[in-house]
Amino acid sequence: MNKNLSRLAVIAAALLFAGCSSTGTRKESAAVVVSDKGDVQIVKGSGAQTAGAAREGTWQGKPLDDPSSPLSRRKVYFNFDESTIKPGYVDLLRAHAEYLSSHPLIKVTIEGHGDERGSREYNIGLGERRANTVKRFLEAEGVDPAQLNTISYGEESPDILGHNEAAWSKNRRAVLVY
């Protein structure tokens, strides 16, 4: 028992000293290895290796999650009381249409939203018009209608809470949910 405590103390001390060193320069990493016989050894190495570092930072995940891809952007904003797609969102929607056309098994739900102004019923209708406008655009770009579903939340699911134009402008939107 006493022998195990002394080994544990050596291991703890080695880890403590290895973890507290901070001179601002890069040092070689070390690991504490305990053999089956209970011998303690400190082994110096080159540190952890990752597979991603060898690939020079290329994206390895799903294309929808690549932050440098337009597919990672899934919100289309609208002007007050309108359901017309702004020219700035045409390329974004075309990228989504191309992705959906080349992946016919993937489905997307288009959520329509409005800001808090107007009646609940009016905003449900406006959110539906916004979602349907995006749906029709995607269909016109060649997406199979069976891949598209729409739903309107009206004012019920704001993206930004607030009672000013900054909040309202972020709540007037359609969202592509894969």
> Can you give the three-state secondary structure of 2-22, one letter per residue?
HHHHHHHHHHHHHHHHHHHCC
pLDDT reading at 8 higher than 80? no
Task: For 83-101, write each residue's pLDDT tens digit.
Answer: 999 999 999 999 999 999 9
| pLDDT on residue 118 | 96
DSSP conformational letter for 154: E
Domain spans of the chain? 2-48, 63-177
Rounded to two decimals, the pTM is: 0.67
The pLDDT score that the predictor gives to residue 58 is 72
Q: Find the distance separating the first CA and the last CA of the chain, reported in whole Å.
A: 58
Does residue 105 surpass a pLDDT of 90?
yes
Fold of 63-177: 60s Ribosomal Protein L30; Chain: A; (3.30.1330)
With cut-offs at 50, 70 and 90, classify the pLDDT of residue 175. very high
- Write down the pLDDT at residue 104: 97
pLDDT at 52: 47
Say if residue 27's pLDDT is above 90.
no
Map tokens 């930004």 to a residue.
Answer: 160
Helix axes 90-102, 120-140, angle to 10 degrees: 60
Encoded tokens for 23: 């001179």
**Which of 174 and 29 is assigned the larger pLDDT?**
174
Query: 44: part of which helix (H) or strand (E)?
Result: strand 40-45
* 8-state DSSP, 170: H
DSSP one-letter string for 73-89: --EEE--TT--PPPGGG
Cα–Cα separations (whole angstroms), residue 8 to 4, 12, 39: 6, 6, 11
CA–CA separation, 51 vs 49, rounded Å?
7
H helix or E strand, kind and range, residue 137:
helix 120-140
Distance of CA 96 to the CA centre of its chain: 16
